[in-house]
Structure formats: structure tokens, C-alpha cells
A and B are shown apart, each in its own frame.
Chain A
Amino acid sequence: MISVSTLTHSLGHRLILDDISVEIPKGKITALIGPNGAGKSTLLHLIARQNPVQTGVISLDGEDIAKTASTDMALRMAVVAQELGVASRLRVRDLVGFGRWPQHQGRPTEVDKAAVEKALEEFHLLDLSDRFLDEISGGQRQRAFVAMAYVQDTDWLLLDEPLNNLDIRYAKSLMAKLRNMAEEKNKSIVIVIHDLNYALANADYFIAVKEGKVAFAGETSDVATSESLSELYDAEVNIIESDGKCFAFHH
């Protein structure tokens, strides 16, 4: 379990996160939702230790993340960032291979190599594996970065808007993969996501952030209602149930 308590973060004079306390359950998919600029990515980056915590404490299974060695954290938590502007020319296979760096520290074993090949196959990247990152499309690059975090094989996987640039087929297959990881391998996954329908269909748990505060948090079926979502986004959202599935209509 990740627990965030009294977390406050500001950039310059602007308050981004205002006294946030929330818990993220283990072995589930948690959707981090909220309007643009609400502080979702900042929260995710703080959990992922991309930026130092200013005030408050974030702990992973009871351990303060600020006091855990970063090589240790890399074995427990993987992150896929939102901006993937890469200047370097790496082959897709090499990039995915670097996902095993925390395990092998530069000396890949057969196990590491096999894990990389498997990930390339599962993310439909085999055909692209010898291409350079700057010669493939944005969506393909996105998949390569997700595959890189996937081979890291950590208990926690954090993804910042992983569906960006993905077409319907790959978006569906990525969400199915995440579901599978949570259910079969008991992995814990946190995604920042804007597409409410994907979130409703796949996330077990919702955390909604608005203006730097937690608007609501809880099991999807308990908290994701037409009223709560409409208020969150300041726009009309209707949750409609059909065939036992929830859909969000907003236009």
C-alpha cells in the first residue's frame, strides 16, 4: 500500500498540492483522475520520487520513500512518464533492455534477455525492435516505454496518461494487459487517465484530484457517480449502466 499523508507541494508561489492525504490500495488498478492542472501528474511524480517531497510523507508498505535507496526503489516501482521527448537514438530493443538495468546493473543474464524478448512480443514490438526511437511513431514509442517499465517487473507500476497517442486497438490491449497484471500477478498499478470510459471499465479504485486537493477516493462503484464526476470536471457527465458495465456520457 502507498500512503500519502499531509502532502503539500508548491512550485514558486503557486500551490500545486494542498495537504493531500490518501491511500492507494495494493494489487489493484487505481485511476488518478481530475481536470487539467489539478496536480495529478505532480502527485504521481512525487510518489515516483521524480521530485523531492517538500512537506508531508509518502510511504510504500510502511517505508518512507524519501529514506529508501533509489536502487532499491527501482526494484519496487517503475514509472512511465508523460513526455517522452527522446533526443537519443536507441533501438527499441535496447530501450526495453534498459528496463532490466535495476536488476542487472549492466550485466544482463539470460533471464534478463528472455524477459526483454517476452515483453517485445507481448507489446507487439518485435517487428520494430531494431528500429531507432526517432524513426517510429509517437504511439509506437509510447508502447516501447511501457514495455520498458513492464520488464522492470516491479510490484508497483505508475503510468502518466499511458493511452496518449495509442489507437483503439493498442489502448484496449494495454488496458487488458494492466488488468491481467493486477489480477494474475497481484501487481499494483496507478494510472493518470482522462478517458473516463477506460477508467470505469478497468480501474478498481478512483482517486479524484481537483485544485490540489482530493475531491473523492474509493472503490469505483462507490464513488464514480454522475454527480461526483460532473462536479469534478465542472461539466455534465452521466454514468449509464448497460449490460452490467458503466459508461460515461459527456456530450
Chain B
Amino acid sequence: MIPLLLILSGVSIFIGVGDLSASQLSFDNEEAWELFFISRWPRTAAIILTGASITICGVIMQLLLRNRFVEPSTTGTTEATMIGLLIVAVWFPDWSLFGKMSIAATCSLIGLLVFLKLAQNLPREQPLLIPLVGLIYGGILGAVATYFAFQTDLLQYLGVWLTGEFSGVIAGRYELLWIAGALTLFCYLIADRFTIVGLGERASKSLGLNYQSIVLIGVATVAITSSLVVVTVGVLPFIGLVVPNLVSRFMGDNLRESLPLVAGYGAIFTLFSDIVGRTIRYPYEIPAGTVFGVVGAVIFLWMILGRKNHV
């Protein structure tokens, strides 16, 4: 996995409209280094951080809800973030970036907690109900956001977040993602606790784990991380769903073992989508979110259909 990640990172750094190759990165070539530090490196770093952190969000939500088909974009969390961003744009446009982020993260946290409450009342025997209710709930929140954006003439603003893509990433405009990366690392440190929570409330209590507080930590991490990603690069649907399911098939759900792979493959899939999006109509770009929408749908179908011979 690591060699693949390095190769794709290299490719990601050296493709683009501006001319840059490894040989140009010598000591005296200031122009090449400038391009590297202002545009190429930030973009590649942003892709890796985004890919890793949104797949971790997916995996944590899947364990907390004990359901394979949830992730922030199928449970209304991203829509709640959008509402938060619109509130910021309308009423607090001159707040600092941190303040704006806090409002967005608070909104996605509320959105996620309401969804958890909804999900609690659904019968466990019907695992598909949870994502279905999530999609409906997300639809309602999305409609509220659209109406609000329409009334305040911010529809275009909303459109920017709806498609996740990395073409706007340059130095100074992606650094928030490092916080998402740090949160991902934090999740790895308490991975065992999330795995136990995935065994259910009873098992957690029997092992002396404070179930409620781990769930809250998980929910807060997901809310903050996903709103950081939405603010910086936009919504990248599907990756948080497809990658964890793919890794889980081979590795299982012991997060201590599987989390690095989940994060790594999340980064790889995102890099791959972005590279394809940048080269397929060169010099124009197709958003990485769109590319992955196509690739992810195929993989997802394969997983669902392939399961039959497995069980």
C-alpha cells in the first residue's frame, strides 16, 4: 500500500498545467520550487489528508451506528454543515476563519446527534432502514439549505461546496485540513475503544468502557472532521462508504489493525480520482468527487453482488 501511495503522490505532484518535473527541482531553480510549494505540494497534501480523514469518519460512523451503509454524506451531516456555512455567510461574514469553522462544526454536530436519536428508534433487524432514513433526513436538511441559499442569493456559493475538488487548493487555503489529519491520528490512538463500542452498548459496559462518552467523542470527531473537509474542498461522497467496506472484507473491523489501511486506501482512491480528473480532459479538470462517484458506484455494486458467493 505504501509504495502505491508514494507513486500516486509523486504523479500527483508532477502533473498539471504549469511545467514541473523532478529534474527541474534543483537548488537554483526558484521558479520550480515556488510552483512546488505554492500549488503542487499543498494540493497533494490536501488530497491525502482529505482522503484519509473522510474514510476514517466513515469507519467511525459505521461502528457507532453499527451499520455498514452510513457516512457523513448519507446521514445529513454534510447538509447540516452547509446550513452552518450559510448562517456564517449571511450573519457573520466578517468572523475569523476559526469562528466560522466553529459554527459549521456545531451545526454538523447537531445534525449528527439528531440523526443518532432518529436511528436509535429504528429496528435493528432492518439494516437498510438507517441509510434510507439518513438519505431522507439529508434531503430535508438539503432542501432547507437550498431554500435558504435561494432567498439570500447564495446558491452559487452552495454549489462550490457540493462538488468536492482540489483545483482551488494553494498554500494558505488548505491548512485547516491538518487539523482533520490530527483528529484522524487521535482516532487511531483510541481505536480499541471504537472497536469495543462497535460490539454494542452491553459488551462495552461489561468491559468497563464508558459507552456514552466514547460515542460522544466519536460523534464530535466526525462532525468536526467532515465540516473541515466540506469547508476546504467540498463534499466527496461515497469514499467514506466504499473504502471502509472494502478494507473490512479483508481485514475485519479491528480498528487497531485496519485503521492505517482504511486511511491509506482512502488517500489512494482520492489521489487516483484527482489524477484521473486532471488528465482525462487535460488541460481542463473534472472534479475528483465526480470521478469517484463513477468509480465508487462500480466498486459498490461489485461488493454488494460479490457478497453472495462469500457468505
Contacts and interface: CB of A to CB of B under 8 A. Distances in A.
Given A49-B205, A90-B195, A101-B196, A70 B252 contact: no
Nearest to A69: B208
A166 interface: no
Interface string A81-102: 1000111111100110011011
B196 A71 contact: no
A94 B199 CA distance: 12
A119 B254 CA distance: 20
A94 B252 contact: yes
B198 to A, nearest CB: 4
Contacts of A71: 208
Interface string B51-63: 0000000000001
Interface string A177-203: 000000000000000000000000000
Given A86-B199, A88-B195, A88-B199, A70 B205 contact: yes
Given A74-B208, A101-B196, A102-B208, A90 B203 contact: no
Nearest to B310: A135
B208 A70 contact: yes
Chain A, interface residues (CB within 8 Å), range: 20 to 34
Contact of B207 (A89, A91, A102): A102
A241 interface: no
B290 interface: no
Interface string B180-221: 000000000000110110111111011111100000000000
B254 to A, nearest CB: 5
B67 interface: yes
Contact of B68 (A87, A102, A132): A87
A48 B206 contact: yes
Contacts of B253: 88-90
Interface string B101-139: 000000000000000000000001001000000000000
A90 B202 CA distance: 17
A91 B124 CA distance: 22
Contact of B210 (A48, A50, A70): A70
B68 A50 contact: no
Contact of B206 (A74, A85, A135): A74
Interface of B: 63, 66-68, 124, 127, 192-193, 195-196, 198-203, 205-210, 248-249, 252-254, 311
Top 9 closest pairs, chain A to chain B, by CB = A74-B208, A88-B253, A88-B198, A71-B208, A87-B66, A89-B252, A79-B206, A94-B254, A89-B253
Given A73-B208, A90-B252, A94-B195, 19 more contacts: A50-B201, A50-B206, A70-B205, A70-B209, A79-B206, A85-B124, A85-B200, A86-B200, A87-B127, A87-B198, A88-B198, A88-B199, A94-B252, A94-B254, A98-B196, A101-B207, A101-B209, A106-B192, A135-B311
Interface of A: 48-50, 70-75, 78-79, 81, 85-91, 94-95, 98-99, 101-102, 106, 132, 134-135, 149, 152
12 contacts: A50-B202, A72-B208, A73-B208, A74-B209, A86-B200, A87-B127, A88-B253, A89-B248, A91-B252, A98-B192, A99-B207, A101-B196
